[in-house]
Structure 1
């Protein structure tokens, strides 16, 4: 393999204790540039060897127009850093079956931009994800907390939450500073020790968090998590065929229907904004778009500087998404 390092054990004082410590004992970190260096059960997904793995991406301005540099995969016994710079498109395409497979669950924190980069740069339709940002919100809602607009937990915040991990991640901010100073940080080779550690730590705790979260989620929330994760994957990947070539959304489980639970289909709606009108849609200091979010039980995303421009993306229960769309269209007509 191109390089093998050792992950450091948890820092003193972290909340992971007892039997859980074994999960975070030193595990090998493999920097790979050739598909043969990845596990066979990952490269060749099958129903007989279903996997749950942590997943993340690093790059330059990661989106449809940016550059994917590293894909990180965490397994219970190892972490693999797939070097897309040195391995090129061949190694990324070798990972396509796993990234699109229903037999491999990808645990990730906020998959929208990662999915966009994979789709537009490599034609990969990221599928079957468990998005810990979504799961965090669903658990809070399940416990009776009202959904707050734009209240999305950061990865650093999630790691710090003692219910799931209780670890500090100061190095994340250090890397962010370096990225602001030099946006090409992730393109340099060979990978430095800091780059390897930072990339590995972005996935190192994801499986631990996943198991903690799954224990808390009821059947309805688990279905919501699967559907909303699929819609997050599609969010910025708008195409001309309305996602007809993407895998279907997870159906409502029969056991939930049998319980008499009332579930409403969740949808992704896309609203086109006339050129030059996005600022007025957002409003001064975001007041206009915030008022829409407060009026509807749906999530609203804007492409922003990374794009796509002049589009608003709405994810939520069908009635709430339609309500948000109607309010937004009304504002556009006022212009």
Structure 2
């Protein structure tokens, strides 16, 4: 049984909710924020995913140096009528394992902004293979491309900038900067308990607009973009989750829908490729001030990601259409050969 919430926040109502809230000034709905330390405090439809009860939820994670080696401290779940802050510090592995079926379920859509490191932390710390995400960072780029405002594959929009875009929310998220300053001063910020009012507010703020943005984006995306969104989301979830079996235990990638496959311009299959870089040579791959990797990105219509300081430090990840990924691989291998 959930304990009475002591925190509340407002969420914007999605399109089509006007009957609930006809007054334009009342388009924000006040919802409770539940701090969860035991699985029984979560909705049963989340804990037991079912095709009869499909869900769309906002999703995010907070922690210390969030990646395989860091510490996941809080997992935020935004429902239309409540926000749940899943406390991985107090609830521990038992609580997180109770969330595993939902996070891996195809019946629950997880709306998140940039899922890569969250997925990595869930996989290596709790054995959870994050699945069926709608990544708003990917969706934003697809909409821009769809509407003729092509963004390069390495030009990512921040969550703060997405919120500020009047097409989606049009709000200023100045509190985010406040938390970033605190995190720089004290990287252990998310480990402290009990959660302070600032921690609760900051965690809720990162998810309370996601469902609204999701509905706005779904109105804009065409069939082909929706397929690209599903595939890229799945590849982003796998990206840093390197294992020894070539992702054989992960869910299959979304197939090209029949109606798209029947069209003249069939979209090309998209893949993830992982290249190993010889120890100590990553700096040469990246180049002075990133010049080398930048030129490779500009030569290929593919995303090229570096494990970096969070790891894995000796690998390059390439996501995109097969031909473009193979082209990027060839250029990168050529650069590596030049090192010897």
- Shorter chain as denominator, the TM-score bin is over 0.9
Candidates 58, 63, 69, aligned match of 2:67: 63
Candidates 152, 157, 160, aligned match of 2:156: 152
Counterpart position of 1:163? 167
Bigger mean CA deviation after superposition, 163-172 or 255-264: 255-264
Candidates 176, 180, 183, aligned match of 1:179: 183
> 2:49 touches 2:108 (CA, 8 Å); kept in 1?
yes
Return the offset for 1:148: 1.7
Return the offset for 1:149: 4.5
Secondary structure at 2:118 match in 1? helix
Return the offset for 1:144: 1.5
Backbone CA RMSD of aligned residues = 1.5
| Cα deviation code 1:275-311 (max 9, x no counterpart) | 0000000000000000000000000100111000110
Bigger mean CA deviation after superposition, 259-268 or 99-108: 259-268
Which structure 1 residue ranges, 5 or more long, are not aligned? 11-16
> 2:8 touches 2:32 (CA, 8 Å); kept in 1?
yes
Candidates 99, 109, 122, aligned match of 1:95: 99
Candidates 7, 10, 13, aligned match of 2:9: 7
Candidates 77, 86, 90, aligned match of 1:86: 90
> What's the TM-score, normalizing by structure 1?
0.95
> 1:4 touches 1:31 (CA, 8 Å); kept in 2?
no
Counterpart position of 1:13? none
Instruction: Indicate whether 1:294 and 2:298 are aligned.
Output: yes
Candidates 126, 131, 135, aligned match of 2:135: 131
Counterpart position of 1:49? 53
Task: Give the whole-Å Cα distance in 2 for the aligned partners of 1:39 and 1:21.
Answer: 30
> 2:11 touches 2:208 (CA, 8 Å); kept in 1?
no
Alignment of 1:223-238 (within 5 A): 223-238=227-242
Counterpart position of 1:258? 262
Secondary structure at 1:105 match in 2? strand
Secondary structure at 1:293 match in 2? helix
Instruction: Indicate whether 1:248 and 2:252 are aligned.
Output: yes
1:61/1:213 Cα in 2 relative to 1: closer, same or farther (>3 Å)? same
> 1:23 touches 1:76 (CA, 8 Å); kept in 2?
no
| Cα deviation code 1:44-99 (max 9, x no counterpart) | 00000000000000000000000000000000000000000111111111100000
> What's the TM-score, normalizing by structure 2?
0.94
Return the offset for 1:159: 0.3
Secondary structure at 2:245 match in 1? coil
1:20/1:292 Cα in 2 relative to 1: closer, same or farther (>3 Å)? farther
Return the offset for 1:147: 3.1
Instruction: Indicate whether 1:119 and 2:113 are aligned.
Output: no
Return the offset for 1:132: 0.2
Task: Give the whole-Å Cα distance in 2 for the aligned partners of 1:114 and 1:249.
Answer: 19
Task: Give the whole-Å Cα distance in 2 for the aligned partners of 1:18 and 1:269.
Answer: 49
Pairs aligned (count): 329
Which structure 2 residue ranges, 5 or more long, are not aligned? 13-20
Return the offset for 1:8: 4.7
Task: Give the whole-Å Cα distance in 1 for the aligned partners of 2:58 and 2:315.
Answer: 30
Task: Give the whole-Å Cα distance in 2 for the aligned partners of 1:8 and 1:163.
Answer: 19
Return the offset for 1:326: 0.5
Return the offset for 1:109: 0.3
Counterpart position of 1:324? 328
Counterpart position of 1:40? 44
